[in-house]
Amino acid sequence: MRDAGGRGEQACRTEPVGKLEKDPEAMRAIVTCECCGHRQTVARPIRRPESFYLVCHDCERTLRVDVTAEDIRAAELSSSPRTPSRAA
């Protein structure tokens, strides 16, 4: 990490490689650009509803990403372990 202007503020924070895969609380999002259709994975952990911007790696347009509480619940349900149903 690099100091921003010597004021003690950090210019950026980076997660260690592989941290998202090991963090059970982190959700990974895949964003599709509405302009060019390029799909990319959001590299930061998403733990609560929020909005943020990212730049498409293909056409370089700015994209607004809105993560809702419903999105978080759907991700939690899809990643929860499922018990096999018993056939009678």
Encoded amino acid at 29, one letter: A
User: Which residues form the domain of 39?
Assistant: 19-79
Does 13 map to a domain? no
* Alpha-carbon distances, residue 45 vs 4, 27, 37, 48, 70 (angstroms): 23, 6, 23, 9, 17
Does 65 map to a domain? yes
Question: Quick one: pLDDT at residue 56?
Answer: 95
pTM above 0.85, yes or no: no
Reduced 3-state DSSP string for 27-62: ECCEEECCCCCCEEECCCCECCCEEEEEECCCCCCE
Does 35 map to a domain? yes
Reported as a single tens digit per residue, the pLDDT across 9-60 is 333 333 444 454 566 667 778 999 999 999 999 988 888 999 999 999 999 9
Closest to 64 measured CA to CA, from 74, 43, 50? 50
Does 45 map to a domain? yes
Question: Quick one: pLDDT at residue 23?
Answer: 67
Listed range (16-20, 30-34, 66-70, 72-76) with the worst mean pLDDT: 16-20
The domain total for the chain is 1
Determine phi and psi for 59, rounding to 5 degrees. -100, -5
